[in-house]
Structure 1
Amino acid sequence: MNIAILSRGGNLYSTKSLIRAGEARNHTMEVLDPDLFQLSVEEGNAMLLYDDEPIDDLHAVIPRIGASNTYYGSSLVRQFEAMGIFTVVAAESILQSRDKWTSFQILSKAGVAVPKTVLVNSINFESQLNCFQNEPIIIKLLEGTHGHGVILAENAHTALATIETLHTTGVKFLLQEFIAESKGADVRAIVVDGVVVASMKRQCKEGDFRSNLHRGGSSEVIKLTYEEEHLALRAAKALRLGVCGVDILQSQRGPLVLEVNSTPGLEGIETTTGKNISKSIIGYIERNKR
């Protein structure tokens, strides 16, 4: 098959890993920059040009759409869908998972446990903060990756000044309970085609509360409990993601989904676990393109 990876980063670990896995299965792999596509609709047909050349020989695409390119990137994926080309992650799923509040609404409808979360509006900040009874509060921008746009406020008083400042900038954000017992750690599970193919526990570096490896956190292999695995699979299903990373907090009341990532990085978890996740993704394509 001819398989394209939609990515601006041809030299990134994840991209290279996917190329190796595809070529090992005798597929023709290429990296296509989303910014170099021209999308159009002509006479009722979806059309695509790449570097002024028509796209007419692809069997499948692997979207690696960055947060800064969500709108155009998801539009590109939808164009491939309209052309009947298989994509491992659907355009609508990218959009829904990228917006944290939308994803929490969908997860809640599916009965997936998440931390207590409040969408902030400009009516009454103090009333919204009272929901957390002066406990530590996490303030999150609706879109953000690698721990960016996440602030820990010690209490409602300190949170008020921050959210008033954010509100003046027009940024959309939410409030979320701080799960102190997780002690700056979370669990990352990678789901491919309805199966958890790898999992690790991430621990924040000293002095931080965000466990992202990009921010200096550490990681170790972990075996998920039945409840954690079941939760990860339900989250992936709710957001209709064939491939995703599900971040889970271990709380006193059971596992809670913190976030679902439609474009999870592969370097940290493949290095930590020794699992070839890229091979699983290629297998997913093969099962759907027989």
Structure 2
Amino acid sequence: MNIKILSRSASLFSTDALVQAAVKRRHNVQVIDPLSCDIVIEKKKPEIYYRGKKLEHVDAVIPRIGSSITFYGTAVVRQFEMMNVFTTVQSQALVQSRDKLRSLQILSKAGLGLPKTVFTNYSKDVSEVISHVGGAPLIIKLLEGTQGLGVVLAETKTAAESVLEAFNGLQARVIVQEFVKEAKGADVRVLVVDGQVIGAMKRQGREGEFRSNLHRGGSASIIALTDEEENAAIKAVKALKLGVAGVDMLQSARGPLILEVNSSPGLEGIQTATGKDIAKSIIRYIERSI
């Protein structure tokens, strides 16, 4: 098969792992930068040119679209869809997963456990917002934040009020979430491919850090999921209609609580922690689908 990986850099671990997995399974594979693609829209004749060359006979694409290029990257994926090319992540699903507020609404409707969350239109009554999530400590997240950036732990009501007032003054869109104490600064990342759990790891924030992101010095270890956690991950990915996704959840006294569903999950941490070839599973997903 002829597979294209949409990625800004071929040297990224996840991109390289996918290339190696595809080559081992005897596929033709090319990494293309979505920002270097030109989209040609014409009646019943959608085309994509990459650095001046028309892309033809493409069987499948693997979108690795970073949050900073979501708009154009999604447009490229959508154009491939118009060309009847299989994609591991549908364009509309990618857009929904990137919209943190919309994705939480979809997950809530699907009956999944979530940390209690509040979103307002720059409400001046920050005390009421704080009370809605049970008071401090609480988490404040920028809607467009990634990899733990734009996430604040407000340990007291006074601190929470100050942070919310500051964000409101900057007209920065935020959501406010309850702080789940029993999670103890850890979360669980579950990798789901084609409706099946492929691997899972527990990420623990470094001492004094409430965020567990590996990019911020957290550590990872393999974890055996409970049936409830596995079912929640699969249900979350199904609700957002994603073929490949990383589901982040907290272990709480009331069961798993979904934090986020990532449509372009990094592979390095989970492959290292689990010893599983996640990239190979993604390539096999394409093989089954075409």
TM-score range, shorter chain: over 0.9
CA distance in 1: counterparts of 2:150 and 2:44, whole angstroms: 41
Give unmatched runs, 5+ long, in structure 2.
Answer: none
- CA deviations on 1:46-75 (whole Å, 9 max, x unpaired) are 221111111112110000000111111111
Tell me, yes or no, if structure 1 residue 45 matches structure 2 residue 41. no
What residue identity is the alignment partner of 1:211? S
What residue identity is the alignment partner of 2:18? L
What residue identity is the alignment partner of 1:155? T
Runs of 4+ aligned structure 1 residues displaced above 3 Å come to none
User: What is residue 82 of structure 2 aligned with on the other side?
Assistant: 82
User: What is residue 93 of structure 1 aligned with on the other side?
Assistant: 93
User: What is residue 2 of structure 1 aligned with on the other side?
Assistant: 2
Query: How large is the Cα RMSD of the aligned pairs?
Result: 1.0
Conserved? CA contact 2:46–2:82, under 8 Å? yes
TM-score where L is the length of structure 2: 0.97
User: What is residue 211 of structure 2 aligned with on the other side?
Assistant: 210
CA distance in 2: counterparts of 1:165 and 1:45, whole angstroms: 50
Equivalence map 1:151-190=2 (5 Å): 151-190=152-191
Count of paired positions: 289
User: What is residue 122 of structure 1 aligned with on the other side?
Assistant: 122
Deviates more, 1:161-170 or 1:98-107: 161-170
Tell me, yes or no, if structure 1 residue 143 matches structure 2 residue 147. no
Tell me, yes or no, if structure 1 residue 219 matches structure 2 residue 230. no
User: What is residue 108 of structure 2 aligned with on the other side?
Assistant: 108
Deviates more, 1:37-46 or 1:237-246: 37-46
Deviates more, 1:10-19 or 1:151-160: 151-160
The DSSP-based 3-state class of the residue aligned with 1:263 is coil
What residue identity is the alignment partner of 1:117? T
Conserved? CA contact 2:122–2:171, under 8 Å? no
What residue identity is the alignment partner of 1:255? P
- CA deviations on 1:242-269 (whole Å, 9 max, x unpaired) are 1000011000111111110000000011
Deviates more, 1:62-71 or 1:114-123: 114-123
The DSSP-based 3-state class of the residue aligned with 1:163 is helix
The DSSP-based 3-state class of the residue aligned with 1:113 is coil
- CA deviations on 1:120-155 (whole Å, 9 max, x unpaired) are 322333321221332211001112221111100013
Cα gap change, 1:105/1:118 in structure 2, threshold over 3 Å: closer, same or farther?
Answer: same
TM-score where L is the length of structure 1: 0.97
CA distance in 2: counterparts of 1:44 and 1:163, whole angstroms: 49
Give unmatched runs, 5+ long, in structure 1.
Answer: none
Deviates more, 1:45-54 or 1:15-24: 45-54
User: What is residue 26 of structure 2 aligned with on the other side?
Assistant: 26
- CA deviations on 1:28-60 (whole Å, 9 max, x unpaired) are 011000110011311343221111111112110
Conserved? CA contact 2:192–2:198, under 8 Å? yes
Report deviation, 1:197.
Answer: 0.4
What residue identity is the alignment partner of 2:98? R
The DSSP-based 3-state class of the residue aligned with 1:42 is coil
